[in-house]
């Protein structure tokens, strides 16, 4: 059985009028104030979560509960479809085109790359400078956390490795250029790095806190390898798995630059997965990984509730990028199509009105939003904008297209209806997400779409920083 990803269709929104500054300030002053921040970063969680409704078999009761009590941004996008630059953008408040962080870098390179173009502080450092105690565990930035980013940070252990624990030998996929593999491992939840992260986070919330705090927890699943204890896989019987609807001729109207940029030879292809009858096992493992990380989110949220601090704590849950599970003939992120850039983004806490927002927003907006919701001074160097007026119901913001980049010169621009992609060589793609949510029909060659392309292309930065090369030491 296959499912058709049409549950969510972007509406054509031309814009929204803003409330006057005086009325916004008055309403904001009457809004309950958050004192603390819990930031939950989930690795490679795509838009299948139930709150976004793009796969009928996803089991995320704890994320659903969080979503029902807060604001769900149903058209949120990462500024890069890969974890390193996406997280660098989120925590610096700067676009990749400003910092030159277009690909993976080591954590110790983040601060110097940002300092080369801006004197801004990373989000945890900014909060610390304003009296917060910042603590974190797990994969917060690309490798965990830059030194000095937090007052207290617990890195992954040697036993865990990058994305462990792992069996001595792989089960199904042997290409060593990727961690990709799937299957039942280990035996218990307690052996999983995300369980340990959630358990530590729950214990942190039980402490006495004299200062306001930021707690950042980075969960690895559903990043590859898709290993979870067998009990989680058993929740998704193989013969009941619903596969994504795909178009075998999908690449026929994609320019060569697009094919080359999205090529990931180290990853399984849809052709291989079909031939080897592994599409359903991959789907099963990804769905099971989502269910497991949802359980970990639940551990933290239950601890927050038990701590008595839920009433004054802002919670933000976000993923760093999306992930293809057969769509566009691939099992990977690292592309400028919607399944790679669209991510869950949820805010809940004091002053947040329960709602679903379909206007485009970006992870770049988290930094300034958090500051305003915590009552802190704005950081004028933030490139994003605060979404606090929307969260609190005090104002609507004008529709602002979002920009994602993968590799210098390759951009996607997403508004309420269209996705425009322009590659470094000038070749293009354009999709009408209202009539073509699967992005199957490239309209870039349609003369009648010239004005749409020009409007969206105007959001591509004219100046792009030189690429920061990864440190191989």
Number of domains into which the chain is organized = 1
Taking all residues of the chain, what is their mean pLDDT, rounded to a whole number?
A: 91
Assigned token pair, 108: 């110790």
Pairing status of strand 213-219 against strand 345-348: unpaired
Has residue 406 been placed in a domain?
Answer: yes
Contact (CB, 8 A) for 18 and 397: yes
- State mean pLDDT over 137-166: 79
Residue 414: which of 344, 356, 336 has the closest Cα?
Answer: 336
Provide the 3-class DSSP secondary structure of residue 441. coil
Has residue 82 been placed in a domain?
Answer: yes
pLDDT of 260-285, one tens digit each?
Answer: 999 999 999 999 999 999 999 999 99
Has residue 259 been placed in a domain?
Answer: yes
* From 55, 77, 83, 296, active-site residue: 83
Domain that holds residue 174: 2-457
Has residue 465 been placed in a domain?
Answer: no
Residues in the chain: 473
Domain containing residue 80: CATH number: 3.40.720.10
* From 62, 142, 295, 324, active-site residue: 142
Diameter of the chain measured on Cα atoms: 63
The predicted model scores a pTM of 0.92
* Dist CA 403 CA 401 (whole Å): 7
* Dist CA 313 CA 166 (whole Å): 35
Has residue 71 been placed in a domain?
Answer: yes
pLDDT of 342-390, one tens digit each?
Answer: 999 999 999 999 999 999 999 999 999 999 999 999 999 999 999 999 9
Q: What pLDDT is stored for residue 217 in this prediction?
A: 97
Q: In this model, does residue 207 exceed pLDDT 90?
A: yes
Q: In this model, does residue 172 exceed pLDDT 50?
A: yes
Q: In this model, does residue 159 exceed pLDDT 90?
A: no
What DSSP character marks residue 147?
T
Reply yes or no on whether 441 is catalytic.
no
Q: What pLDDT is stored for residue 143 in this prediction?
A: 67
pLDDT of 78-111, one tens digit each?
Answer: 999 999 999 999 999 999 999 999 999 888 888 8
Contact (CB, 8 A) for 32 and 398: no
* Dist CA 229 CA 184 (whole Å): 5
Integer CA distances (angstroms), 194 to 296, 298, 456, in order: 7, 12, 39
List, as one string, the DSSP characters of 364-388.
GGHHHHHHHHTTPPP-TT-SS---H
Reply yes or no on whether 296 is catalytic.
no
Has residue 470 been placed in a domain?
Answer: no
The answer for residues whose C-beta is within 8 angstroms of residue 345's C-beta and 6 or more apart is: 72, 73, 76, 316, 317, 318, 319, 361, 363, 366
* Dist CA 460 CA 411 (whole Å): 7
Q: What pLDDT is stored for residue 161 in this prediction?
A: 61
- State mean pLDDT over 162-180: 92
Has residue 451 been placed in a domain?
Answer: yes
- State mean pLDDT over 454-458: 98
pLDDT of 321-337, one tens digit each?
Answer: 999 999 999 999 999 99
* Dist CA 342 CA 320 (whole Å): 9
Residue 162: which of 179, 148, 150, 146 has the closest Cα?
Answer: 179
Q: What pLDDT is stored for residue 27 in this prediction?
A: 39
Has residue 463 been placed in a domain?
Answer: no
């Amino acid at each position: 059985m296959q499912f058709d990803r049409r549950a969510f269709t972007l509406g054509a929104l031309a814009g929204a009028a803003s409330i006057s500054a005086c009325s916004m300030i008055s309403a904001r002053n009457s809004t309950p104030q958050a004192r603390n921040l819990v930031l939950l970063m989930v690795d490679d969680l795509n838009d299948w979560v139930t709150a976004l409704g793009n796969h009928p078999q996803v089991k995320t009761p704890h994320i659903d509960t969080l979503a029902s009590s807060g604001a769900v941004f149903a058209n949120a996008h990462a500024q890069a479809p890969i974890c390193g630059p996406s997280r660098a953008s989120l925590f610096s408040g700067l676009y990749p085109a400003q910092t030159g962080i277009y690909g993976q870098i080591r954590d110790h390179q983040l601060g110097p790359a940002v300092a080369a173009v801006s004197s801004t502080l990373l989000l945890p450092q900014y909060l610390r400078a304003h009296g917060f105690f910042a603590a974190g565990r797990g994969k917060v930035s690309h490798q965990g956390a830059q030194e000095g980013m937090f007052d207290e940070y617990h890195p992954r252990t040697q036993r865990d490795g990058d994305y462990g624990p792992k069996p001595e030998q792989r089960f199904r996929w042997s290409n060593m250029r990727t961690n990709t593999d799937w299957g039942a491992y280990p035996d218990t939840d307690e052996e999983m790095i995300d369980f340990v992260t959630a358990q530590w986070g729950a214990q942190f919330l039980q402490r006495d806190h004299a200062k306001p705090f930021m707690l950042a927890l980075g969960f690895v699943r559903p990043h590859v390898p898709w290993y979870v204890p067998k009990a989680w896989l058993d929740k998704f019987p193989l013969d009941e798995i619903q596969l994504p609807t795909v178009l075998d001729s999908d690449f026929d109207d994609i320019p060569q630059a697009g094919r080359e940029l999205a090529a990931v030879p180290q990853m399984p292809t849809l052709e291989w997965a079909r031939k080897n009858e592994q599409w359903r096992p991959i789907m099963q493992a990804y769905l099971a990984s989502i269910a497991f990380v949802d359980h970990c989110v639940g551990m933290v949220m239950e601890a927050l509730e038990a701590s008595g601090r839920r009433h004054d704590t802002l919670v933000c849950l976000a993923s760093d990028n999306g992930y293809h599970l057969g769509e566009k003939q691939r099992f990977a992120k690292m592309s400028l199509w919607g399944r790679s850039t669209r991510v869950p983004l949820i805010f809940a806490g004091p002053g947040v009105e329960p709602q679903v927002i379909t206007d485009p927003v970006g992870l770049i907006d988290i930094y300034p939003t958090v500051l305003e919701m915590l009552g802190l001074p704005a950081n004028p160097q933030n490139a994003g904008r605060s979404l606090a007026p929307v969260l609190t119901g005090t104002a609507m913001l004008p529709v602002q297209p979002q920009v994602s980049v993968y590799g210098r010169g390759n951009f996607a621009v997403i508004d309420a209806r269209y996705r425009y992609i322009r590659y470094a060589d000038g070749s293009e793609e354009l999709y009408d997400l209202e009539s073509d949510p699967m992005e199957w029909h490239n309209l870039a060659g349609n003369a009648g779409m010239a004005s749409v392309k020009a409007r969206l292309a105007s959001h591509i930065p004219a100046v792009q920083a030189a690429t920061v090369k990864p440190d191989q030491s």
